[in-house]
Amino acid sequence: MLLLSWLLISGCAIHAPMSEMVMFKDKKVDGKEYESRMGWGLGSMTVDLTTDKLDSELCEGQTGDCVSGDEPSLNTHVLVLTEKLDRVALSVALGAPLGLDATVHVFEDYYMTGSVATISDEIQGQFIFQRRLLDGNPLGLSVGGHLSRLNWVAGAYGDNCTISCWSEHRNLNTMVAGIRSVFTLTRISSYGSTRPFLYLTGSYNYDFKVGMTYPKVGVAIGFY
């Protein structure tokens, strides 16, 4: 029952925006190039490594055992990369939380990403601007910054808890900014083939409402 409660109202980290793989869609094999057109993020997880400041803010005044809202996101992703829209990619995140994101090639090696996700009946959002440094053959790398609207959640439960125990959980909406990087590793294969990839993200963030600095890390695997 506690697991069901967590799925319904937990304050998950915002999902990994897999549309960022458009930065690495051009594949090179023996001097020849081809593009990815579809992809599948088999599984991803992102974790906000928050501090006790968040627990104190969320759990103040709660009775019983308090569960704070920095649970990891757990998702699978459908990634759309099309030849007709060479500068744009779209990704749908299924799991906890549900989300949608898109990445646009702005100019030269600069990209912009926007994402939204639903957390406890609230909307989270993230805006990322970054520069690609390596093109993904086989190593990909980008560095940039982000501005995010997040929703932390906490709830209290007692010894005889049912799902109704969560009816008075607390939401904390806040703005977060930070520096962020993406690293990818793919296996060079034959021309025209689908490649497996490893996708890693890391950021260092500041929460303006809580006054907290904290890192965030993510990992995903898939094919594109």
Q: State the distance between the two ends of the chain, measured CA to CA, in whole angstroms.
A: 37
Residue 120 has a pLDDT of: 66
Torsion of CA 77, 151, 177, 132, to 10 degrees: 0
Q: At residue 99, what is the residue type?
A: G
> Distance between CA atoms of 160 and 72, rounded to whole angstroms?
26
Q: What is the pTM of this model?
A: 0.84
- Residues, the chain, total? 224
Ranges of each domain in the chain:
2-223
Residue 168 has a pLDDT of: 53
- Could you say which residues of the chain have pLDDT below 70? 1-12, 61-70, 83-85, 120, 154-170
What tens digit of pLDDT does each residue of 73-117 get?
Answer: 889 999 888 766 678 899 999 988 889 999 999 999 999 999 999
3-state secondary structure of 4: helix
- Residue whose structure tokens are 């965030």: 216
